[in-house]
Amino acid sequence: MKNDLDLSVRIGSLIMPNPVGVASGTFGYGEEYDELVHIDALGALYTKAVTLEPREGNPPPRLVETPMGLINSIGLANPGVEKFLREKLPSLRTRLCPIIVNVAGSTEDDYIQVIERIEAHLASTDSGRPGIDGYEINVSCPNVHKGGMSFGIDPRLVERLTHSLRQKTSRPLIIKLSPNVTDIAEIARAAEAGGADAISCINTIVGMVIDTEKMKPAIAMGTGGLSGPAIRPIGVAATYKVSKAVRIPIIGLGGITNASDAIQYLLAGALAVQVGTALFSYPQAPLKVLDGIIEWMQRHSVHSVSDIRFMLR
């Protein structure tokens, strides 16, 4: 029975009620999905990126479908940290599921200032639930001209940035890694050495579509980030490799559309997963994935979801 199962997972000091969250950039800050999915039943809500200053994002067109996937070049469009605190945080405080704020920046100081401003705001307000349970640090976004890629491909910069942010918060710190590197395990080890509580593995893969009639890229910026089912085998392999390199938990994502996809990540070494692109066509996908994980655990007599990562033969 479901009640006999332990679905909880621990990331640093945070205990998530179940392993299935929604990926940053696919779920906004939650309001857009209020009428479509039972948000409080999620394992975690990973917010859209928050940057120091407001960003309008990249020029359109910013999305193009591909076989078994989607390329996006949104450019981290968001209202900036101050407007996030004024306009988005009050709603997040009403959620019962854990809230992980995704943070992005173009310089190390950008990241630091975002964390500092959020932490100062939380310390100055007494409204019961803080509305923020941890941070996911985006060092890997492939569709901005500076910052993300340069941080995400250099282990020394990843370790230094993680260490700097570790000094600014006691909340769980999750480093989201890029697959667009020579050795993702090396970057993961650097994040762990810097004090990360967990690794998100993986972000999108650089891709391109060309309109052969117009003879120009289908995305205004030329290239963008490929997500969706096409990248799932890459994400699973990266998760498996990283799981052999670090001791901290791994959150697997990339192309998860059903329970079998998610369980592949869990068997590869992930403790939790995120559902992203599947939300655009089926908003209930995360909870359907969770139901499928429960059914799989019952069928295989697995009591704790945390044990699945040790079961690969």
Residues annotated as catalytic are 141
Beta 99-103 vs 205-207: how paired, if at all? unpaired
Give the phi and the psi of residue 224 in degrees, each rounded to 5.
-155, -165
Nearest to 230 by CA among 250, 202, 194: 202
* Interacting residues of 194 by C-beta distance below 8 A, sequence separation 6+: 158, 159, 160, 161, 162, 163, 166, 175
Contact indicator for 257, 279 with CB cutoff of 8 Å: no
Contact indicator for 93, 127 with CB cutoff of 8 Å: yes
Give the phi and the psi of residue 134 in degrees, each rounded to 5.
180, 180
